[in-house]
Structure 1
């Protein structure tokens, strides 16, 4: 719990660096919490393998969604898609929030796994984005705990009704990574279930080298039962000192173009392809990368639309910029896991 809130505090610093200063206006009151999700109901899921959803999406270039025959699963925890200052936690049946989730992160991020895995992505009473600016308020902790309670319940339902001993990938972004770290600590780190862990892709939030006792950092493309993490920033950008996270020397960064922690520059030629803003086109050699301390530096993306070029923090593109490399690596890890364990 302490580490989870520490991650949130770190992110709050980064968001403040982007100029955000708003906070939640209302008191956190359990009586006002949205209804508890029922994970036996498909409407409580953004993605299920037997449901038509945004995780089925593939760019128009010959890739295949193999969820019906996949021998591994991914449990994907989506990032924040709730932005109000009026409530702490989202209702999972809020259509506007769900549209934002499905058209954004499920299409652009969760879909990367459909070439090797069945995709399970729960809706949960996520904490509003504005709560990241109320972290000195104990109510914010309660709001994040509520969100995690849903993620935990969804994962327990998945284990009981879908898993049947299958290999598992845990994947996430941003707020979802806070939830994923907690989930990995509770269910996988040093437990029998760790044997089923193919890997964890936990991005968009600082993850520290002491967050897990028994789950190591991945340092090769085919390594399993390990985790990768990164946060993407424009090459050469260094956040002002007052906005830098604490203990940044202990933050884990794995380069998604090499799947190692080597700090040398990796040229764009090694980038198989990034996913465009419309999620329909793959652009090869979209950027190069280099690990710089707690950041993954990214050369200016060579991609139509130029939507990213005015930003220095590429948080929203932590999957898009290396989409094909991630998809390829998932296949490598899953296939190696199946060779060694089945």
Structure 2
């Protein structure tokens, strides 16, 4: 194709911008993304038959989509079978933390491919997440609040990519809907960093300082005492709270005080999981790195063994190591919320 003159070059650049995958030459000119339809029950991973509890949980599962090859899209369809199967398995490992104290609402959402999203910069990851994934999550929240919530207080809970999307929910969606935000008991943004800069930019948000404060963010990433290589879900300036003692200092909470860990797969369990009580994991905040260090588990057994994660990273067990502590903490924060408002 032969180009003549600056005006023609501008036209060509405009055309190229229009066809670049998942992007554009400027955010203000991007094509609008249509969200998935959450009036369709099949687009929900979990909907309670009846709301038996006085509080709800909105749960966003971590990455369950992995491309079979590079020709597949970076973002999956809402009905992708592999993504849905993975989400169902992860739900049993994580969201069941909240079953005794809250009604759980969990939408399916269009996800970014696991390997791709962890291999790119934070800026690029957020740009892609701001497309179909964010559109779906925001639409699911709209439908939930308009049709399912009925004024109940609620918890936001996520892990990894789900927590990445919760950072958009907290910064953008809740700022637009302060009347909804005031009913938020807590946001468990686990397995993805909440940073000091993020909180400084979003002054309506606050990080948890104890076991029963409300309207707060609870966040941590779990690692071995010594790691090597990259942890792609860890951002500079991240903050973590101790999921056993619920403190921000660096005092070690011993495994003997862990109320129970949901661990390895076992054929004797209908879910394939095993609850160990007391739990197997201790916990100590590392303020410099912005993580929770765990020294009491078998590193070789529990560290992630796949690129782009380095050695000594327990990302897959952020919920499992502290399963019963999270369960008790959610109940305490729900009770504290009602004590404050009644």
Inter-partner Cα distance in structure 2 for 1:137 and 1:172: 20
* Change beyond 3 A, Cα 1:146–1:68: closer
**Match of residue 281, structure 1, among 244, 259, 274:** 274
Give the structure 1 partner of residue 64 of structure 2. Answer: 81
**Could you say which residue in structure 1 is the equivalent of 2:38?**
39
Q: Based on CA coordinates, which of the two structures has the bigger radius of gyration?
A: 2
Q: CA deviation at 1:115?
A: 1.1
CA shift, 1:141, in A, is: 2.1
**Quick check: 1:89–1:143 contact (8 Å CA) kept in 2?**
no
Q: Distance in 2 between matches of 1:153 and 1:244?
A: 27
CA contact 2:138–2:173 (8 Å) conserved in 1 = no
Structure 1 runs of 4+ with >3 Å offset = 33-36, 134-140, 242-247, 305-311
- Is the alpha carbon distance of 1:34 and 1:123 closer, same or farther for their aligned partners in structure 2, counting shifts above 3 Å? farther
How far 1:40 sits from its partner (Å)?
Answer: 0.7
Query: How far off is 1:214 after superposition?
Result: 2.2
Distance 2:196 2:37 in 1: 35
Please say if 1:332 is aligned against 2:332: yes
Counterpart residue number, 2:15: none
- Residue in 2 that maps onto 1:107: 92
How do 1:147-186 residues align onto structure 2 when only pairs under 5 Å count? 147-186=133-172
Q: TM-score when scaled to structure 1?
A: 0.78
1:27 to partner: Cα distance: 6.0
Q: State the partner residue of 1:221.
A: 211
Match of 2:13 in 1: none
- TM-score of the two chains, using structure 2 as the length reference: 0.78
> How much has 1:48 moved relative to structure 2?
0.9
Tell me: CA distance 1:246–1:101, structure 2 relative to 1, closer, same or farther (3 Å).
Answer: closer
Residues 244 and 153 of structure 1, relative CA distance in 2, 3 Å threshold: closer
Q: Deviations over 1:141-187 (max 9, x none)?
A: 24542210110000011010011211011111111111101101123
Q: Deviations over 1:96-149 (max 9, x none)?
A: 21111101x211111111111111111111111213324499698245422101
- The counterpart of 2:285, out of the listed 291, 295, 306, is 291
| Between 195-204 and 277-286, the greater mean CA deviation after superposition | 277-286
How has the CA–CA distance of structure 1 residues 231 and 245 changed in structure 2, closer, same or farther, with 3 Å as cutoff? closer
Note the 1:131-150 alignment, pairs <5 A: 131-135=117-121, 141-142=127-128, 144-150=130-136
Unaligned runs of 5+ residues in structure 1 are 1-25, 51-66
User: Matched residue of 1:107: which SS?
Assistant: helix
Q: Which residue in the other structure is 1:269 paired with?
A: 256
Task: Name the CA distance, whole Å, in 2 between partners of 1:95 and 1:308.
Answer: 27
Residue of structure 2 in register with 1:187 after alignment: 173
Alpha-carbon spacing, 1:210–1:274, altered in 2? closer, same or farther (3 Å): same
Match of 1:28 in 2: 21
What secondary structure does 1:199 align onto?
strand
Higher relative contact order (CA 8 A, sep 6+): 1
Q: Distance in 2 between matches of 1:197 and 1:160?
A: 16
In the superposition, relative to structure 1, how do residues 246 and 175 fare at CA in structure 2: closer, same or farther (>3 Å)?
Answer: closer
What do the CA deviations read for 1:249-285 (whole angstroms, capped 9, x no partner)? x311111001121111111111000002335431123
* Equivalent residue pairs, number: 294
Cα RMSD over matched residues? Answer: 3.0
DSSP 3-state at the match of 2:73:
coil
